[in-house]
Structure 1
Amino acid sequence: MASNKIFVYEHPNFTGLSREFTENVPDLQDFNFNDCISSVKVIGQPWVLYEHTHYRGEHFFYEEGEYPSVEWQDAISSMQQVKEDLKNSANKIFVYEHANFTGLSREFTGNVPDLKDVSFNDCISSVKVIGQPWVLYEHTHYRGEHFFYEEGEYPSVEWHDAISSMEKVKEDLTNPQITLYEDSHYGGKSITLNCETNLCFGSFNDQTSSCKVDRGAWVLYQHEHRGGGSIVARAGRPCPTVGWIDNQVSWARPLKPGRPKITAKLLWDKKEENTKSVVIDSICGLNRGKHEQTFSSELSREYEGSVTESFNFSNATQISVGMSFGFDIGLVKSEVNVSLSNTFTVEKGSSNTKTEKKGVKISLPATIRPHTKLTVNVVRKEVDVKVPVKITIKSGYSYSTEYGEYRCQAGNSILAEYQEEDI
């Protein structure tokens, strides 16, 4: 029996028709179960449920557990199992008993509905967050006052020794959008926001009574400049009223995703290679006599060889300036093998070009035979290799792919070719 599976149900609370799946489902119409999922149970690896077929549109992440009501009911058209190993998840939180990261500590990568279960209730005073934001709650099962923490280190939390549950933000935070409404239950005039906004600069200050988060997770503040009390509103979670902050919202901002994880892979099967030989020096000697004579006063000459590596991003890159990643090179597979460092490191915003130069010594012949013209051509073999690079960007639970190009121009293979003519 497969250990990784999902059970989907037609109605909330695991009722109505149901199906069990152990593999990806690009189109639920193929199983007569399109747009009719309202609750799920996940065993093993997490699953991602998508609004449209073939893993497109809005998507929702479900780790192992039981979910009596999904975010978007009757709106799922495809499902994908998360295959990556999450034991070393890049999204985690470290919690500490005392301020400044001292005392007992714990590490968590998944939601904690009750900190009593792990003997850490009402004793958190500082936290460190890696990756996606986390929300810490006053009471168990994600109730009461709550505080959000984006990626970073917090030597002191807002409420010491008062946290009883924690929830990881799983929404895609890369393209946020929220609509604020003047009246409760999404009535009256509205305003749609896509970035952090000071409502005091417009006509919607202190007028919000309800909201819909289309994408991401948002924090609504009582005062401008992120001041006063706040609430967190999230995609797929109805907010027909904003509660105590009704008609008091002056500032709104989206939660930021953690630093993206970037991986890159060279696509050797799509390599382009050009090789040419270039004469960089020619030395000629004539011996019209009957005896051998010296070819040159020099026994050897030294020439400069070089290897230049570079990387170019695509025009529509989602990678921000300052982000860096590396990929394995090993040995460039070309007619002339060029040994390189094992890893080429790329940083957005820098030149991403490096050149290594070295001297190559070429020995010259000592003598010329009688009645002979001897020509020594010094030839550099130049190899130009271009390899596409597939770049995968993981931001929270969202993946995107783009491409760049790695290029290696090698001219460090230098040799001498002899030509003799009788005269």
Structure 2
Amino acid sequence: MKKFIKAALLLASLHQVAGQAGELTLFSRPDFGGHEVSLRGATPDLNQWDFNDRASSAVVRSGAWEVCEHADFGGRCMILERGEYPTLRRFDNLISSARELDRGNRGGWGRDHGRDDGNRGNRNDYARRGDAVMLFEHARFEGRQVGVHNDVRTLRDFDFNDVVSSIVITDGRWEFCNDADYGGQCITYGPGRYPVIDMNDRISSLRRVR
């Protein structure tokens, strides 16, 4: 009887762990059509699934996933939260690697546990990968996300124009402007976490100033 109880507890424990694992499904056509592949762990090269540069839509069943245009999580990357993505816009047929991200306990983006008052937090994996700035579609680090490590003359190239609502800066001071080519009204932020920004949904370009 005791052995049976131990076996049942072990099985329940394994089931719980499996339930917590993230899952991302990529589809070769928009609107979840064509061939598909489901990922449940870091995949540095989608060639192993014969799915390199083939994804056109996605479903995140659990977790938050980073998808990148190059193998080994290089190049431009985008973060997909739980939900359905019938099109991948600027990342259509460009994804070569994907991995699940760690998340904080209070929701939103949880890789940097610094304070939300603009003070510098811990350097995170994005800094190690080279992204000095993370842009978020919604306030408090929610929604679609794009990592930036060089000057950006227009966020239209990332399909992210006039949608930025919160920012994380891990390195340097950056100028954010409401027109392309660093024109119009601009504001400068240093390293820190900014859950709400003054130029909400009005940023079109950014560049490092120090």
TM class by smaller structure: 0.5 to 0.7
Alignment-derived partner of residue 147 in structure 2:
172
- Mark the structure with the bigger radius of gyration: 1
Residues 32, 175 of structure 1: alpha-carbon distance in 2 compared, 3 angstrom cutoff: same
CA contact (8 A) 1:133 1:256 kept: no
* TM-score normalised by length of structure 2: 0.53
Q: How big is the alpha-carbon RMSD for the aligned residues of Structure 1 and Structure 2?
A: 4.0
How far does residue 175 in structure 1 lie from its aligned partner after superposition? 3.1
CA contact (8 A) 1:176 1:214 kept: no
Alignment-derived partner of residue 64 in structure 2:
46
Partners of 2:94 and 2:153 in 1: CA distance: 20
What does 1:154-165 align with in structure 2 at a 5 Å threshold? none
Amino acid at match of 1:43: R
What does 1:365-384 align with in structure 2 at a 5 Å threshold? none
Partners of 1:66 and 1:86 in 2: CA distance: 22
How far does residue 135 in structure 1 lie from its aligned partner after superposition? 5.6
Alignment-derived partner of residue 259 in structure 1:
192
How far does residue 232 in structure 1 lie from its aligned partner after superposition? 4.2
Partner of 1:36, secondary structure, is coil
How far does residue 134 in structure 1 lie from its aligned partner after superposition? 5.9
The answer to whether structure 1 residue 60 and structure 2 residue 84 are counterparts is no
Alignment-derived partner of residue 78 in structure 1:
97
How far does residue 213 in structure 1 lie from its aligned partner after superposition? 3.1
Partners of 2:184 and 2:75 in 1: CA distance: 28
Residues 36, 253 of structure 1: alpha-carbon distance in 2 compared, 3 angstrom cutoff: farther
Tell me the alpha carbon deviations over residues 136-161 of structure 1, each in whole angstroms, 9 at most, x when there is no partner. Answer: 6xxxxxxxxxxxx6x8xxxxxxxxxx
CA contact (8 A) 2:58 2:84 kept: yes
How far does residue 256 in structure 1 lie from its aligned partner after superposition? 5.3
Tell me the alpha carbon deviations over residues 301-343 of structure 1, each in whole angstroms, 9 at most, x when there is no partner. Answer: xxxxxxxxxxxxxxxxxxxxxxxxxxxxxxxxxxxxxxxxxxx
The answer to whether structure 1 residue 28 and structure 2 residue 3 are counterparts is no
Partner of 2:37, secondary structure, is strand
How far does residue 20 in structure 1 lie from its aligned partner after superposition? 1.0
- Number of equivalenced pairs: 141
Partners of 2:36 and 2:85 in 1: CA distance: 14
What does 1:133-282 align with in structure 2 at a 5 Å threshold? 168=143, 170-179=145-154, 212-214=156-158, 231-232=162-163, 250-251=183-184, 253=186, 259=192
How far does residue 17 in structure 1 lie from its aligned partner after superposition? 0.5
CA contact (8 A) 1:48 1:80 kept: yes
How far does residue 69 in structure 1 lie from its aligned partner after superposition? 1.2
How far does residue 46 in structure 1 lie from its aligned partner after superposition? 0.9
Alignment-derived partner of residue 206 in structure 2:
none
Residues 253, 8 of structure 1: alpha-carbon distance in 2 compared, 3 angstrom cutoff: farther
Residues 177, 68 of structure 1: alpha-carbon distance in 2 compared, 3 angstrom cutoff: same
Residues 256, 65 of structure 1: alpha-carbon distance in 2 compared, 3 angstrom cutoff: farther
Partner of 2:192, secondary structure, is coil
Structure 1: runs of 5+ lacking an equivalent: 93-127, 137-148, 152-165, 180-210, 219-230, 235-244, 261-423
How far does residue 255 in structure 1 lie from its aligned partner after superposition? 8.3
What does 1:1-16 align with in structure 2 at a 5 Å threshold? 2-3=18-19, 4-16=22-34
How far does residue 61 in structure 1 lie from its aligned partner after superposition? 0.3
* TM-score normalised by length of structure 1: 0.28
Relative contact order (alpha carbons < 8 A, sep ≥ 6): 1 or 2 greater?
A: 2
Amino acid at match of 2:192: R
Amino acid at match of 1:76: I
Q: Give the percent of matched residue pairs that are identical in Structure 1 and Structure 2.
A: 22
Residues 251, 52 of structure 1: alpha-carbon distance in 2 compared, 3 angstrom cutoff: same
CA contact (8 A) 2:31 2:86 kept: yes
How far does residue 86 in structure 1 lie from its aligned partner after superposition? 2.5
Partner of 2:146, secondary structure, is coil
Partners of 2:29 and 2:93 in 1: CA distance: 9
Tell me the alpha carbon deviations over residues 356-392 of structure 1, each in whole angstroms, 9 at most, x when there is no partner. Answer: xxxxxxxxxxxxxxxxxxxxxxxxxxxxxxxxxxxxx
Partners of 1:37 and 1:21 in 2: CA distance: 13
Partners of 1:134 and 1:34 in 2: CA distance: 26
CA contact (8 A) 1:177 1:214 kept: no
CA contact (8 A) 1:9 1:38 kept: yes
How far does residue 176 in structure 1 lie from its aligned partner after superposition? 3.8
Structure 2: runs of 5+ lacking an equivalent: 1-14, 111-115, 122-133, 166-177, 194-210
Tell me the alpha carbon deviations over residues 196-222 of structure 1, each in whole angstroms, 9 at most, x when there is no partner. Answer: xxxxxxxxxxxxxxx73359x56xxxx
Amino acid at match of 1:13: D
Partners of 1:252 and 1:232 in 2: CA distance: 16
Partner of 1:213, secondary structure, is helix
CA contact (8 A) 2:135 2:146 kept: no
